[in-house]
Amino acid sequence: MTKTTITYNYYMKPSFDEIYMELAEKLAKRSHCVKMHVGAVLAKDTRIISLGYNGPPAGTHNCDMEWAEHGCPRDSKGGCSLAIHAEQNAILYAAKNKASMEGSTLYVTLSPCLACARIIYTAGIKHVFYLHSYGEYKKIASDEGVDFLVKFGVTVQRMSLTKTTTE
């Protein structure tokens, strides 16, 4: 598996990939999760079809307000009992609004976990760009979600939004 790192000059005209990843970073700041803030943008043909960030389902609890010190209660496997991942939120919103995701591109600030990778593949998303490694965050040997997507023909690239200046 080949991973590509993309960098750009802050003063140059940004590509759509850069714009959408920067938007995903901004969306991550809206997350109510105490442990990790993740944002996602789903785009097709240079148009945004959906957005998402991680947190509890709309209309339930906001973890940062109700359980600010430790986060939401854990489920039987030790994971968040309320959290929906950013990419899941983006995909669910697109599906709810009957937007076609076939051949689309997902920009997400944290590489997909294995469960999200299965959903991404099933939704027909063909390209995934991510900033940070889920494997590194969880301290596991590999990015299982990335490995799954690559194995089944989804293009996956790690981005770096390092801003360089010319002074």
- Give the catalytic positions in this structure: 87
Q: How far lies 159's CA from each of 27, 32, 47, in Å?
A: 17, 24, 19
Q: What contacts 90, CB < 8 A, 6 or more positions away?
A: 40, 41, 42, 50, 51, 52, 106
Contact 125, 93 (CB under 8 A): no
Calpha distance 65→95 (Å, rounded): 29
- DSSP, collapsed to helix, strand or coil, labels residue 8 as strand
Closest CA relative to residue 140, chosen from 101, 103, 114: 114
Closest CA relative to residue 166, chosen from 9, 58, 36: 9
Residue type at 133 in one-letter notation: S
Residue type at 86 in one-letter notation: A
